[in-house]
Amino acid sequence: MDYKVVFEPPTPKAYNELRLEGGISGKSLEAAEVGLKNSLFAVSLYDQDVLIGMGRVIGDGGAFFQVVDIVVKPSYQGKGLGKVIMEEITTYLDRHTYPGSYVSLIADGDADHLYKKFSFNYTAPRSQGMYRKYE
């Protein structure tokens, strides 16, 4: 399969379209624009000019990092692209974290199977993931 790897976030419009098509929530274009440009690291996969997958790392760049926006276009799932995205993110984290840095993520659905391959573990029972959403 031919695809192009780009180390920058997509446009807010393409980002939202991929998220929605991939079954995760959309964001306002304003929130997407601010969030995407403040990424610590982004990897985007393209088939020609079509965004087919992406992932990002956000955080403070030292103590805390969070892996977010791991999504692959449904028609491209099952081809190892999630693994490609996570390999790039793991390479970034291996080069940019410090002793004591904390890297977290929220695994939606059965995505935990992918993340376990990259040494991510459950926080429970020691801690519980929580969130607060703004509508």
Q: Cα angle vertex 37, ends 32, 42, to 5°?
A: 95
CA-nearest of 16, 11, 13, 65 to 41 is 65
Question: What pLDDT score was predicted for residue 134?
Answer: 87
Q: What are phi and psi of 34, to 5 degrees?
A: -65, -50
Q: What is the pLDDT of residues 116-126, one digit of tens each?
A: 999 999 988 88
Q: What is the pLDDT of residues 15-51, one digit of tens each?
A: 999 999 999 999 999 999 999 999 999 999 999 999 9
Q: What are phi and psi of 56, to 5 degrees?
A: -140, 160
Annotated domain spans of the chain: 4-116
Model-level pTM? 0.93
What would the CATH number be for the domain defined by 4-116? 3.40.630.30
Token couple for 100: 């004591």
The yes-or-no verdict on residue 71 having pLDDT over 80 is yes
